[in-house]
Structure formats: structure tokens, C-alpha cells
Amino acid sequence: MSTKKKIAVLPGDGIGVEVTASAARVLTAACDAAGIELQLDEYSFGTDCYHANGTAFPDVTREGCLAADAVLLGAVGSANPVNHDELGLLDLRKALGLYANIRPITPFAELSGATPFRPEILDGVDFVIVRELAEGLYFGDHAGDDERATDECFYTRGAIERIARAAGAMARERGVKVTSVDKVNVLSTSKLWRATFTDVFASEFPDVELEHMLVDAMAMISIQRPASLGVVATSNMFGDILSDECSVLAGGLGMLPSGSFGAPGPSFYEPVHGSAPDIAGQGVANPIGAILSAAMLAEHSLGSIEVAQAIVKGVRGALASGLRTRDIAGGGGHVVGTEAFTQAVIEQLSAARA
């Protein structure tokens, strides 16, 4: 029986093109070693696509994504920007039925010198941010003129219930608590959020500890006592902001992977960072977030923990050898470019098989 898997590759814009190429190479090498055959099909998507075609998400890209086993994206946005809605991300999430964005925060010990935190703060840090992806502020109505602007934030009980279940299931599997983050003292949507989480956990996850926390408190706790966190569940906008803040724990935005999940279509994987058009084409981008996103893809969409673990070990080995891209070189090490770091990860994979 064939193990061939179809991956829709969306390089996007800026450094997305470079880091996605790195992730695809590492994923292919790791899958080849495990006997998993891949078919990687590349599609146009993002801001540059919008300027060339009048749409950031062409029909051929939509069809390719829906027909794939998984989607791998680099980043979107360019030096010639368009409105956020025209980047294609919201349409892509809708098309794939995605509602849960998973962002693991797991610092590498080898990079402790690249963060502003004392080692004891980072000791034992291993938590996951579960961001609701289908409703909230980004999907409401937006209107405005030179004098007044309005952005609608909405949530439905059904959307909150499914993200609560996703967080509860993950916490149960990991044996940790869930911290539900809101702004209940101000927002009506947060009142519904908190009440719904309380109901879902009381009836479906009585064995999982649930705590509620205001987003401003979480902004402090996540960098003051990050090892106390297990699964952090929050809304679309809060999750976007908090995960960027927490990236500093791992050394910066270039380090974080993410996966977006729904049902029943393919899942979607991308690094947390943006397209960084100011350094695009220079060969200096950090590919680790994209490579670790490929590891998430291997585990969740290809069903291979073996491949996922091999990729993570490859990254760790490259870091342990002292190699650093310039954004994470604050703690020392030999600074290399995107290509050299990617090749080092692939060599680590080969060495592990020898």
C-alpha cells in the first residue's frame, strides 16, 4: 500500500519563500528515511500573488489545498502591502474549516543565552497556546472614516465550546491544567467565553484543572512564571498577541512553529513569524520556526511521531554544534545563513541514521 502523501506548499511572500524551501527539504529528507513518500505541490498565495492576479487566494490554490493531506505556508505580506483581508489568510482558514491554532512554547536549552531571561525562569517551560481561529475580532464587521472607526468582535457559544474541547483534550493528554484567558471585566464576549469554558469543563473534563485569568495578568505571568503554564486557551486576537510575546522565551519569533486544525479538511502549518520583507532575499532568515512547523505536520497530518522527533533532534543537533542564524546569535555561536543552517539540520538527520 502506498504511503504517498500530498503536501500543498504555499511559500507566500518575503522570507516565507526561503524558510518554506528549508522546511520542505528537511521534511523530505526525514520522510525519505522513514519510507514516507511525499508529493509537494507549490501554489501561489499572499500579497505578491494579489498584486499579480488580483487575488491572494486563487481558485487553483484553493483546490490544491483542499485536495492535499496538509498545507505548509511560509508567510504573507510584502513591502507593497494590501489590506489584511486581502492577504488571503482568513479565506484560507475558512476554506479549510480551521478553528484551533496550536502554538507550542518550548525553549531550546542551547539558546538560553539568546533570550533576556535568567536560566531559572526558562527551566521547565513547555506549554501550548490554543488560539481560537474562526471568530472574534478578526472576523467581525469593520467600518470607519476619518472621524470614527468600529471593529466588531463576536463569539458564539458553539465556537467557544469546540475550542474548549480542543484545549481540554490536549491538557488531558499532557497531564496539565488549562488556563483560559479573557477580559471578562470589560468584554461581553469574554463573559460568554468564561461561562462556556466553565460549563464544558464541568460536564466533559471534570478531571482537568481549569483556571481563568485576565489577559493582562497572563501577559505578566507568561514571562514571570512561564513554567507554571500547561495549556493556555484564548481568543483569536489575544492568542495572536500573547504568542508573539511568548516567542521571546524561545529566542524570538523565528523559533516558533504553529499548526491550525479543524474538521474534516487538511490541517495547516506555518511559522509564527511574518514575511520580514526588509531581509527577504538576503539568505539570513531563521528557518527553525518553519522546520519545526514541518515537524508538527509530520506528527499530526502524516501520523509519524518518528519523523517529527527526528526533525526536532536535527534542529537541536545543529544548535548544539554552535550554529546560529543572526537573530538568535545573542548568546554566541557561529553565525550562518538560512541555507547553511538548513543543510546542518539535514546532516544531523543523516548522522542519526548512520
Q: What is the pLDDT of residues 166-187, one digit of tens each?
A: 999 999 999 999 999 999 999 9
Which residue, 211, 226, 250, sits at the end of a domain? 250
Q: Do the Cβ atoms of 250 and 327 come closer than 8 Å?
A: no
Angle between helix 288-300 and 16-34 (nearest 10): 40
pLDDT band at 191 (very low <50, low <70, confident <90, very high): very high
Nearest to 317 by CA among 354, 283, 270: 354
pLDDT tens track for 202-253: 999 999 999 999 999 999 999 999 999 999 999 999 999 999 999 999 999 9
> What is d(CA 47, CA 28) in angstroms, rounded to the nearest whole number?
27
What pLDDT was estimated at residue 85? 53
In a domain, 32, yes or no: yes
Are 154 and 216 within one domain? Answer: yes
Q: What number of other Cβ atoms are within 10 A of residue 33's Cβ?
A: 15
Q: Kindly name the residue from 6, 191, 244, 313 that is annotated as catalytic.
A: 244
In a domain, 188, yes or no: yes
**pLDDT of 354 strictly over 80:** no
Q: Kindly name the residue from 85, 123, 151, 216 that is annotated as catalytic.
A: 216
183: annotated active-site residue: yes
Cα atoms found within 13 Å of the Cα of residue 28, Cβ hemisphere only? 15
In a domain, 108, yes or no: no
Highest mean pLDDT: which range of 88-97, 257-266, 287-296: 287-296
Q: Kindly name the residue from 6, 177, 183, 313 that is annotated as catalytic.
A: 183
Are 272 and 242 within one domain? Answer: no
pLDDT band at 328 (very low <50, low <70, confident <90, very high): very high
Q: Do the Cβ atoms of 68 and 266 come closer than 8 Å?
A: yes
pLDDT band at 9 (very low <50, low <70, confident <90, very high): very high
Are 133 and 20 within one domain? Answer: no
Q: Count structural domains, the chain.
A: 2
Q: Kindly name the residue from 43, 50, 99, 138 that is annotated as catalytic.
A: 138
What backbone torsions phi and psi does residue 200 show, to the nearest 5 degrees? -65, -45
pLDDT band at 121 (very low <50, low <70, confident <90, very high): very high
**pLDDT of 84 strictly over 70:** no
69: annotated active-site residue: no
Amino acid present at 233: A
**pLDDT of 1 strictly over 50:** no
What pLDDT was estimated at residue 80? 74
> What is d(CA 306, CA 299) in angstroms, rounded to the nearest whole number?
8
Are 41 and 88 within one domain? Answer: yes
> What is d(CA 165, CA 71) in angstroms, rounded to the nearest whole number?
24
**pLDDT of 2 strictly over 90:** no
pLDDT tens track for 138-166: 889 999 999 999 999 999 999 999 999 99
In a domain, 109, yes or no: no
240: annotated active-site residue: yes
Q: What mean pLDDT is predicted for residues 4-10?
A: 96
Say which CATH number the domain at 342 has. 3.40.718.10
Are 121 and 234 within one domain? Answer: yes
141: annotated active-site residue: no
Q: What mean pLDDT is predicted for residues 37-50?
A: 95
What pLDDT was estimated at residue 115? 87
Are 157 and 184 within one domain? Answer: yes
Q: Do the Cβ atoms of 348 and 317 come closer than 8 Å?
A: yes
Are 226 and 122 within one domain? Answer: yes
- Tell me whether residue 263 is exposed, middle or buried, using C-beta atoms within 10 angstroms of its C-beta: 0 to 12, 13 to 18, 19 or more: exposed
The answer for residues whose C-beta is within 8 angstroms of residue 326's C-beta and 6 or more apart is 284, 335
Nearest to 17 by CA among 269, 292, 287: 287
327: annotated active-site residue: no
Q: Kindly name the residue from 43, 240, 269, 327 that is annotated as catalytic.
A: 240
Cell of 80: 507593497
In a domain, 107, yes or no: no
Nearest to 104 by CA among 295, 287, 279: 295
pLDDT band at 78 (very low <50, low <70, confident <90, very high): confident
| Mean pLDDT computed over every residue of the chain | 94
Are 24 and 95 within one domain? Answer: yes
Which residue, 226, 250, 274, sits at the end of a domain? 250
What pLDDT was estimated at residue 86? 55
Cell of 196: 462556556
> What is d(CA 90, CA 305) in angstroms, rounded to the nearest whole number?
29
Are 171 and 91 within one domain? Answer: no
**pLDDT of 280 strictly over 50:** yes
In a domain, 255, yes or no: no
Which residue, 228, 250, 272, sits at the end of a domain? 250
Place of cell 478553528: 99
Are 66 and 37 within one domain? Answer: yes
Are 124 and 184 within one domain? Answer: yes
Nearest to 320 by CA among 342, 291, 344, 296: 344
Handedness of CA 29, 30, 32, 38 (dihedral sign): negative
In a domain, 63, yes or no: yes
Which domain, by its residues, includes 272?
A: 1-102+261-354
pLDDT tens track for 329-351: 987 789 999 999 999 999 999 88
State the DSSP string of 231-287: EEEE-HHHHHHHHHHHHHHHTSGGG-EEEEEESSS-EEEEESS---TTTTTSS----
For residue 312, how far is the Cα from the chain centroid? 15
Are 238 and 334 within one domain? Answer: no
**pLDDT of 133 strictly over 90:** yes
Q: Do the Cβ atoms of 265 and 96 come closer than 8 Å?
A: yes
In a domain, 95, yes or no: yes
